[in-house]
Chain A
Amino acid sequence: DAGVIQSPRHEVTEMGQEVTLRCKPISGHNSLFWYRQTMMRGLELLIYFNNNVPIDDSGMPEDRFSAKMPNASFSTLKIQPSEPRDSAVYFCASNKDGSYGYTFGSGTRLTVV
């Protein structure tokens, strides 16, 4: 099992540009979570999907952030336009109904300059 796969690993972009982060959950997992990690705010849940449907997006900071899960094996988190305060590590995690605990991806380190 390749685990949760995220791309890119690192992204440096200029303020105002669009950024798209990608995630492939573990095969068979039907819940997917996007977290943001910063020193100041720790691990914050942005949004989570169950069976490809967004269940809770209350953590999405503002309209500049959007997430999709078009199928069971792929999700994107988009920031448009990006701002320097969006700089963080973005983690994707997945698990399966009836199981406990998440498996995290390796994360995407985003730097907005």
Chain B
Amino acid sequence: EIVLTQSPATLSLSPGERATLSCRASESVSSYLAWYQQKPGQAPRLLIYDASNRATGIPARFSGSGSGTDFTLTISSLEPEDFAVYYCQQRRNWPRGLTFGGGTKVEI
């Protein structure tokens, strides 16, 4: 099973600052990686798929990059509504499985 390790576990920032979140895979997942945002008590929301494609309706301040084993989600300037937990997800071995990372909490 491919393991995704997200870092840091918690990121403490202020509105207006830049957030850089990391997701590292235990083996190459090519560009088959997505990012989701989850707020407390809510369902996840798809932000990025195939490493760098923004999902429909996602603001341009969210961007994804990387390939192989190292990926980054960047929020260029944090808005108050961006404070949440972010998960990465890979599908390299589909349909033999999907895995999610452990999450990074972005807090004020």
User: Are A and B interaction partners?
Assistant: no
